[in-house]
Chains A and B, each alone.
Chain A
């Protein structure tokens, strides 16, 4: 009733006077959810201020009503609604009475994607999402990370990289494939250029730089295999955790006992997979998609509803027009509950399953978010498959989770209410 009244006021206001704000609804009224993030990001990038209306109509955005924003929205097929002061007042009244909160968006974060310079036979969902939404980003790889380039960025994304340096254990099935040989050569050259004897040593050093980046205030978002292997590389900084075809020696027999989980972001007490011909890193991944006999079927995961007023960060990360989303495989699909550290915030889980899908936490001055799986719109994505055409999925609830992460560093942090 209250929402209907607000809509009525909104319509009346738009008839009478030019609006001062553009509401970008993010519920089912939105024609293109993914590009709406691009519209908001680019408005901030151009110096405008905005608001993220958490839990209001699917996590809508409020932007200034300018001809340029209207034009861009029209070109990209993004639904916007002009809102005058009176209508906005009604919206705010409605928000004040419910689990909703307006978070100011002040500055477009500077984005880096960790991506190798060679072509890989798989695609990065975040890169595709940013390209589709029209959000600019830089790319960094090992040279840049070791040079200290991460300090230039507010937000870092890691995708498919194996930070244990075992090249995803793709040696098992693809050791003769030209793309695998290219990857091995490029990584070995990078290792030697930086004075490391093998790839695992190089990747551990990179993982340590990433850890320090977050500790110093950076925002980290990782997906798929990067989540699990980053943690293993950090915990195993002083342990041989790589199989013999990666570094010439087998995994240390006492590796499990020697892992230092005190330095990791999310996980603890994981058990390393020491069998060299099993395509799995550890028992962190609940689904074990690449291990015949262990592979678990896909279900659906449910997003948690957080208090927008008291827990705005977690709320931002789960803004979506759907709360139940079909699961999707990846090298690391999910995270075993058993291996989660006590302080980790679970953002999404499969109810009743021994794994969770989407987690978040603070670390030092920064924060991290991990999402399992490879491509939200291609649940069985396999090596060599063509990339997903996001213009066919403009309302993807799974891809929205990725873009929530891109925008949340733009939010002005409020002191918590006590």
Chain B
């Protein structure tokens, strides 16, 4: 019985739905505009056109139907057929901006420049003193690349309407199209001040300004008084031009108002997208300070850490934790702080902070903090405390056991514990490469080199990798190449070149030899020794014809030859 009732209910529901569907179809039949839109959606262009015409027969001034007919005629290659419908609509609404703009567009397709001009004149007569006809016509001319004609129209517009500010957007577009970047920036400043939604267009328009013109653009946008719209445009431009720090300097001086924090937060997001972490840090700290916004401070601390400012991350995260409840702090601020302390090698502080918030932290956060504490002890050079700390936490050591073995020079244990498929960072990849290259089971110098890397002591690491080459002759070219890379990264090209030379001359069959040739040539180019760089690149190309580095080497050879020719 219950099943019967249920089936009955279902069929009633189905009938109701069918009734609703039929009702909708009837409504669509009754409304030609809805029918036209549905047909257009199905790409039935001819039928849609007929339906739009039906709609216009019922309501000749319908802008929606006219725009639909424009789209459909465009598909059918019959844009010229639209004009009679537009003309009829305009007889009813001669001042309607939408209809007039459509008339301009149609005239462009039907009769070219003369017809557009006539349409503009007709609009101007119908709406004397109105800025809209000038604005639409000038934009159309600019889109066609006719800056000179647009200039004439804008001059007429300013004279007729008596207010040039009305045309700040069009003037800015005009100046940018002509390459008059400073004037364009001044016009955009006005436009973006009155209408903040123009900011995006301003940035798009001014980004191509050549380097020599950018200071002028900066001065125009930063002229006092500081306006949020113009400053925001300048900040975005600086980001686009690759100088986020200058972008932040442009925004930093904004007067205090409700908009300021939002602008700063938006800018921080864009700086993060550009990997300008320390700039994002400053913007977030500034945005968070007035209201002591804890989560925002935590974001700033994370950005500081990503930007290599562990000390700043520690203090910002501490501030963040101090203005939040313990659970929020444990979730947002404390993990960042423990990681920062770990990077700084402050094992005792990391242990204390992690322990204080452990009761409020989720299990996975506790595990992550335990690992950071262990790494803090590694960076402090105390391997036994690192091991003890991990064991005391009861957390899974993960790859840490393998790293500890490596640091102690126990290559066999490290080889067993470090999984190549989990290697992500440059240090991890280097470690698994060395362990895979050598058959030896012990190397004190290799362990010391990786430990020095973990402690951030690249000079000691470079020395130790060079020493390790003697302990592990089967991996010597790889270890020496790593040593040279570290020396070059420290800015000591002389020391690096000596090592690359050793690899190229004494280990020419090793896979590192062509890469060393290329790195050597690049170092020579950095010191403007182009002829010597050419010789190195030629050596690489001629001696390693099967190397995957050849396409790059040939490009750099061309560049070095050109540089050599221009300086000789």
Contact = CB atoms under 8 A, between A and B. Distances in A.
B563 interface: no
B555 A391 contact: yes
B120 to A, nearest CB: 15
A173 B147 contact: yes
B361 interface: no
Contacts of B538: 75
Contacts of A171: 148
B178 A71 contact: no
Interface in B358-407: none
Nearest to B540: A75
B541 A173 contact: no
Contacts of A174: 147, 178-179
What band does the interface of chain A fall in when counting residues whose beta carbon is under 8 Å from B? 20 to 34
Contacts of A132: 558
Interface in B335-361: none
Contacts of B420: none
B317 interface: no
Interface string B129-148: 00000000000000011111
A293 B112 contact: yes
B266 to A, nearest CB: 30
A177 interface: yes
Nearest to A292: B144
A172 B542 contact: no
Interface in B510-538: 538
Interface of B is mostly: helix
Interface in B103-118: 108, 112-113
B177 A173 contact: yes
Contacts of B175: 176
Contacts of B557: 75
A277 interface: yes
Contacts of B558: 132, 391
Nearest to A294: B112
Contacts of A77: 541, 550-551, 554
Contacts of B10: none
A65 B178 CA distance: 55
A175 B554 contact: no
B554 A391 contact: yes
What band does the interface of chain B fall in when counting residues whose beta carbon is under 8 Å from A? 20 to 34
A74 B144 contact: no
A176 B562 CA distance: 34
Nearest to B144: A292
B74 to A, nearest CB: 15
Given A174-B179, A384-B208, A74 B148 contact: no
Given A74-B542, A292-B144, A179 B179 contact: yes
Contacts of A175: 147-148, 178
A177 B542 contact: no
Interface string A123-149: 000000001100000000000000000
A3 to B, nearest CB: 26
A177 B180 CA distance: 6
B149 interface: yes
B225 interface: no
A391 B545 CA distance: 18
A27 to B, nearest CB: 21
Given A277-B148, A293-B112, A176 B180 contact: yes
A172 B148 contact: yes
Interface string B141-185: 000111111010000000000000000000000010111100000
Looking at B180, B542, B554, the one whose CB has the most chain A CB atoms below 10 A away is: B554
Given A75-B554, A384-B208, A391-B558, A176 B545 contact: no
B269 to A, nearest CB: 29
Interface string B175-206: 10111100000000000000000000000000
Contacts of B179: 174, 176-179
A78 to B, nearest CB: 10
A379 to B, nearest CB: 18
A378 interface: no
A71 B149 CA distance: 58
A175 B175 CA distance: 11
Looking at A132, A173, A391, the one whose CB has the most chain B CB atoms below 10 A away is: A173
Contacts of A391: 554-555, 558
A74 B146 contact: no
A91 to B, nearest CB: 25
Interface string A176-220: 111100000000000000000000000000000000000000000
Looking at B112, B146, B148, B551, the one whose CB has the most chain A CB atoms below 10 A away is: B148
A75 to B, nearest CB: 5
Contacts of A277: 113, 146, 148-149
Contact of A75 (B147, B178, B180, B542): B542
Contact of A173 (B112, B145, B545, B554): B145
Contacts of B562: 131
B561 to A, nearest CB: 8
Nearest to A181: B179
A76 interface: yes
B536 to A, nearest CB: 12
Given A176-B178, A176-B180, A74 B541 contact: yes
A290 B145 CA distance: 9
A277 to B, nearest CB: 7
Interface in A359-405: 384, 391
Contacts of B151: 176
Looking at A71, A75, A292, the one whose CB has the most chain B CB atoms below 10 A away is: A75
Contacts of A75: 538, 541-542, 554, 557
A173 B148 contact: yes
Interface string A87-108: 0000000000000000000000
B251 to A, nearest CB: 29
B342 to A, nearest CB: 44
Contacts of A293: 108, 112-113
Contacts of A177: 178-180
Interface string A141-163: 00000000000000000000000
A395 to B, nearest CB: 13
Looking at B179, B541, B550, B557, the one whose CB has the most chain A CB atoms below 10 A away is: B179
Looking at B151, B177, B178, B551, the one whose CB has the most chain A CB atoms below 10 A away is: B178
B567 to A, nearest CB: 16
Nearest to B112: A293
B144 to A, nearest CB: 5
Interface in B543-561: 545, 550-551, 554-555, 557-558
B344 to A, nearest CB: 44
Interface in A35-69: none
A292 B149 CA distance: 14
Interface in A198-253: none
Contacts of A76: 554
B178 A74 contact: no
A175 B144 CA distance: 15
A176 B557 CA distance: 40
B347 to A, nearest CB: 51
Nearest to A382: B145
Nearest to A32: B554
B325 to A, nearest CB: 54
A292 to B, nearest CB: 5
Interface of A: 71, 74-77, 131-132, 171-179, 277, 290, 292-293, 384, 391
Interface of B: 108, 112-113, 144-149, 151, 175, 177-180, 208, 538, 541-542, 545, 550-551, 554-555, 557-558, 562
Instruction: List 5 A-B pairs, minimum CB-CB distance, nearest first.
Output: A177-B179, A176-B178, A293-B112, A173-B145, A173-B147
7 contacts: A74-B541, A178-B180, A277-B113, A292-B108, A293-B112, A391-B555, A391-B558
Given A173-B177, A292-B112, 20 more contacts: A74-B545, A75-B541, A75-B554, A77-B551, A131-B562, A132-B558, A173-B145, A174-B147, A174-B178, A176-B147, A176-B151, A176-B178, A176-B179, A176-B180, A177-B179, A277-B146, A277-B149, A292-B108, A292-B144, A293-B112
